[in-house]
Structure 1
Amino acid sequence: MVATLIRLKKDLTFNGFNQSVWHILGTIFAGLYGLGMVGMVFSLQVMEGAADVADPEFVRTASVLMGSAVFLLWLIIPVFISGADAAMNPRQFITYGIPRRGLILGLAVTGLISIGAVLTLIWLIGQVLHWRWDLAAAATSLLTLPLLLITFSLVSQAVTTSISAWLSGRRSRDFLAVLALSLMVMLYPIMVGLQSAFASLSDAIPAVVDFLAYTPLGAGAALPADAAAGAWGAMLLRLGVLLATVVLAVVVIRAGLVKITEQPTVQSSSGSKQASGLGLLGRFPATPWGAVAARASTYWLKDTRYGGTLVVLPALVVLALVMYFQTDAAWVLLALGPVLGFTLGYAISADISYDHSAFALHITSGVSGTADRLGRLVGLLVFGLPATVLAALVPAVMFTTPGTTVALVGVSVGVLLSASGLSCLISARFTYPVPKPGDGPLTQPSGSTGRLMIVQLGMMLSALALMLPELILVFFLLVSGGAWLAWVLGVGSVLKGAGLVWLGVRLGARVYERSQPELFQQVSRY
């Protein structure tokens, strides 16, 4: 059975490359990027492991920190892909009657058939070379290499199985994905908080390493250090922590499989809420563009693929506040308005892709291109415009003169409108695979990486090109300090943004009406 699962994973992995050229390019790019990062770490491990330059304490610190980081990656990556239709998800094997023991072992082994496992193996080989200056430490690294690999795979599978068994509901998946996204944005404030808890970073590292070395995160990576120091008691204790982690992962996987296969959850409809009224459809004008705006606004409120952007915005504000209090640089807060404006304007660059099969509603109902483009734009500006103005106005009033306040608010609104106008055209012209309805905001569909990067890079460069007039005026404003130039910058940015919105809606409408069938085929295939 294990051999069958391995062959299945191999076939699915290679068949994935037949989906599209973009998938191949994206996988190659991701693999080369990961290989480059691991290659740099591997080079450092080789250099620091030379007998004439090796510092035992430094090697131990580096090993534990890197080992903890690798363990965390294996632990949190399943959260990012929890909403995906993963081929090796335990729920896919419910109807096949596979013995539980064989399924657990098979899932653990197939978890090692991935780019991440190959990169982890390279790092583990680097660990052996990192400790080559001591024979006992190098031997320990070599002997624990397969144990660490299987531990990483089991822990990752335990997270996947737990999510599938107990957090398989849409709200639970969305909560995990949004939480992970928020933690990514808040990583810098978290690190600053940890650093401030100690007198200095140099004082923090030894204490952190000593703590991690007795946890599942760093216990495996600390074993060679114990062998080099002859601390056999500590080594046995850490080995026990590692083995206990393996046992606990197996227990969690088994309990999750029992829940999935033997105790399915029965959904009851008795407590379902009865819908009443038209909702947002009753609050927008009774026109085609009003109906589209109401549906787009509903997406922003209830669809976490859009809501993930709204969660990031407060996190960006917190990040800016932390950076300001740390550096006392007012520009960090003054940049909030333009950054939020661009983020919101860019957010609708994949609105048709997000529709998936629901895009058929626009085709069959005969919605015009102008109504479609304008409705989606209004659905964004209803809340995006006040949020952008507020993010620009508050810091500007606190730190700048009235003239500069006008310029900053105008530039922020102009960036929002310019990015929105560009998105109105881009989303009708270029589509790419996005998370399907019901998936989490961090899910990356197969075959999306290459085309996604190309489209996003193109839009970023186009947006920067459109911002050149503002950048030139900001330069002259900083040099001359003329109050009249601030008004020109503020008012000019808004007028230019309004013009780009008009142009984006018009051109996007033409593209939309000319290629409706092709757009529907593309988003349905994705």
Structure 2
Amino acid sequence: MAAHILRLRVALLFGALRGDRGHVTRMVIGLLVLVGGIAAASWALLSLRDAEADVVLAITVLGGSAVTLGFALAPLIGGAHDPLDPRRFTVLGLGGGRLAAVLAMVGFISIPALSLLVLAVCAAIVWSDHGAPWIASAVGAILGVATCVLLARVCMALGSLFLRHRRSRELSGLFVLVVLVVVIPVGVFLASLEWHGSVPSQLLQAASTLAVTPLGAAWAFPGLIAEGDDSAWMSLLVAVGTIVVLGAMWAWLVHRILTTTERPAPERERGGLGWFGVAPGTPGGAISGRSLMYWFRDRRYIVNVLVIPVAAAITVVPLLIAGVPPEIVALVPVPFAALFLGWLPHNDVAYDSTALWMHVATGVRGWSDRIGRLVPVLLVGLPLLAVAVPVAISLHGRWALLPALAGICLSLFLCGLGLSSIASVVAPYAVSRPGESPFQHPPRIGAGAGLSQGLVMVGSIVLSAPALWWGWIALTRDIDAAMLALWGGLAIGLVVLILGVVIGSFVFERRGGRLMEFAEST
């Protein structure tokens, strides 16, 4: 049976070259481009045989980690049908364990895996020339390729189970957003480095960190052995453990796929449900889907989001006029943006207008309402901060402050979300109605509007005071306080967010009637 599946896999590879003339031409051109790219990458790797060991270690670990991450993300983003889906082989009568093992081995017979194998062999040759035993070089190459192949199989199986009928432009946009959140900060970081003919210390530190993670452990093992580093065995342990965990996950997923029935998508879903097709089929998922539609289509929400970077940038002008050094001023706008992002949903219930009756009439639990409303601002705020923080640090010029700024921003953002979850049900105030101009003021607002806004903002700053203080110490005196600001700010923000959601949920369930009365009267 294993040989039969292998023949089927090889036939599928050659079958891609069959078809009409246009299809065959495109496939041949693509293969030629791929072969050219692999040849260029192999030549670049082999040219490192005369380079310093730390240069080779940084390139192989960082490059290998990026390739491993790509093998994980590509199946989720691409959404292609898996030719090795376990359901296609149920007629062969193989057990779950045997089928998982056979499909894992056959997974090595693919163009991406074979291309990666060529690069891994080149890396092994380079490390052998730098003094690594050939056994260690071969083990590193095999573990690296096996990690990528198993990771691709696991992610493709997860996509088959949970994302098969939820593919939409919204979901693809989320995956692309995740990639951008990773790529843009890394690009800013690399662009800020000063090479001076040698590998920057930041890259060496990043490589040493990745060397003990599942992404880079296998690729780092031969290099650490060549340098006589004691952490080589830790990398080997992590790499082997990763293979074991991925193998167990793959076996479980194969069993799950074989014992569940694939439900075809109804014809009515062909038009797409937008964010409702992406969100889980729960009350909280429905609220998050509706909130996402509002956030990306309602002019009132869009204007609020667009005002944030403008308001944050305005804070730069008076500081520069007052003579504050530009490298210090560069750190100010991002915490302000984090504060405003956390403040945004403080009156979210009012924007529902009379649509709030759906929540009250159907008996939606408070935590479903509170969490569902936070999903849009989290999807907007976290990527924005993930990009803005590295940019601000690159303008400042001292990357050691990155943890401190990240901790401050997380604390302000999460504390704002927690307090907003309470304020939006305790003290909502009138806003412009749906369809009206976002700059149109309602007939009555009342003093509660300013009080609600001020309490959320001031409360976020007060609760984030420890993170702000640790960040100031890291900036002026002791850089070691940067990590304290990161973890302290994250802990404070999470505690306030959880307490805010719990309290807001309780108040929402107790004040449902009054909230409905407020929505009908404004």
- TM-score bucket of the superposed structures, by smaller chain: 0.3 to 0.5
- TM-score between the two structures when normalised by the length of structure 1: 0.47
- TM-score between the two structures when normalised by the length of structure 2: 0.47
If asked which structure has higher relative contact order (CA below 8 Å, sep 6+), I would say: 1
